[in-house]
């Protein structure tokens, strides 16, 4: 799904009014994995909510394959995943995953059944288990399986692995790439983790401190899987740190 963000400014009507985003212009080709990074409060999550059609920009417009976000959201073609897996405690694993497909139109034929999605994320044998009996990593796998069953063209992912321990987080980012590459949806991934952004994304977009403005935008011509010890990877780390004001860029 092609994402076109043109001159988007968003002001929250507080006292005084708070400008979260200022004149954001961003075009994301269909199938691209884009990471959004920047300091806390720079508007990354606000931008995701604008793209999802959950809020309307104060100025400018957003189009998804030429349609408004509200139209695309109404057609259930946007999938959302956040830090909280948002699982219903009274439904087992299969029930939580199956719930997403109940809201699809009858003519939609999703690529994966709930059981197939559970198998894809390594949870095929716990379909009858309830969320309270699952670890944090397994709960996020379950949320990822639910995302897969929507068969959406746009994945909006707001730091979905941030609350996990480092080992689980790295394992899930690797597995996420394995799921994304054959399907190739468009992904907007919000993160504060530099290495996570560079391991996952085709492109990194940096937002400045509030109000969030486009501070840097660069593609990553690095083959996958990416190794942190690779000189090209380390060069990308230095470039991103410099864009975030953490260090000077070096050749």
pLDDT, tens digit (0-9, with 9 covering 90-100), for 102-157:
877 767 777 889 999 999 999 999 989 999 999 999 999 999 999 999 889 999 99
Q: What is the pTM assigned to this prediction? A: 0.93
Residue in this structure with the two tokens 């909510």, named with its chain if needed: 49
Distance between terminal CA atoms of the chain? 35
Residue with the bigger pLDDT between 251 and 201: it is: 201
CA dist., res. 31 & res. 24, Å (int) = 21
pLDDT at 110: 74
Q: Going by DSSP bridges, is the β-strand pair 203-207/214-219 parallel, antiparallel, or unpaired? A: antiparallel
pLDDT at 103: 76
How far CA 147 is from CA of 15, 135, 143, 163, in Å, comes to: 37, 18, 6, 18
Residues 193-209, buried b or exposed e (16+ Cβ, 10 A)?
Answer: bbbbbbbbbbbbbbbbe
pLDDT band at 75 (very low <50, low <70, confident <90, very high): confident
Residues of the chain with CATH 3.40.50.300: 3-77+153-243
Report the chain's mean pLDDT, rounded to a whole number.
Answer: 92
The domain defined by 3-77+153-243 folds into Rossmann fold (3.40.50)
């Amino acid at each position: 799904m092609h994402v076109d963000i043109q001159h988007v400014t968003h002001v929250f009507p507080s006292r005084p009014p708070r400008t979260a985003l200022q004149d954001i212009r961003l075009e994301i080709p269909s199938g691209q994995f884009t990471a959004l990074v920047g300091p806390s409060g720079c508007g990354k999550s606000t931008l995701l909510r604008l793209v999802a059609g959950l809020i309307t920009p104060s100025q400018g417009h957003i189009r998804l394959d030429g349609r408004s976000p509200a139209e695309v959201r109404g057609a259930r073609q946007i999938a959302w995943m956040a830090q909280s897996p948002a699982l219903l405690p009274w439904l087992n694993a299969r029930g939580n995953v199956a719930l997403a497909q109940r809201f699809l139109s009858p003519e939609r034929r999703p690529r994966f059944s709930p059981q197939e999605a559970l198998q894809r994320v390594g949870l095929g044998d716990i379909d009858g288990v309830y969320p309270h009996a699952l670890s944090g990593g397994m709960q996020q796998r379950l949320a990822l399986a639910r995302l897969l069953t929507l068969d959406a063209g746009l994945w909006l992912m707001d730091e979905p692995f941030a609350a996990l321990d480092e080992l689980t987080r790295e394992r899930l980012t690797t597995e996420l790439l394995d799921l994304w590459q054959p399907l190739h949806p468009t992904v907007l991934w919000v993160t504060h983790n530099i290495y996570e952004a560079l391991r996952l994304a085709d492109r990194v977009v940096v937002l400045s401190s509030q109000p969030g403005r486009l501070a840097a935008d660069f593609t990553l011509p690095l083959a996958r899987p990416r190794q942190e010890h690779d000189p090209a990877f380390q060069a990308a780390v230095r470039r991103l740190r410099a864009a975030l004001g953490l260090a000077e860029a070096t050749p």
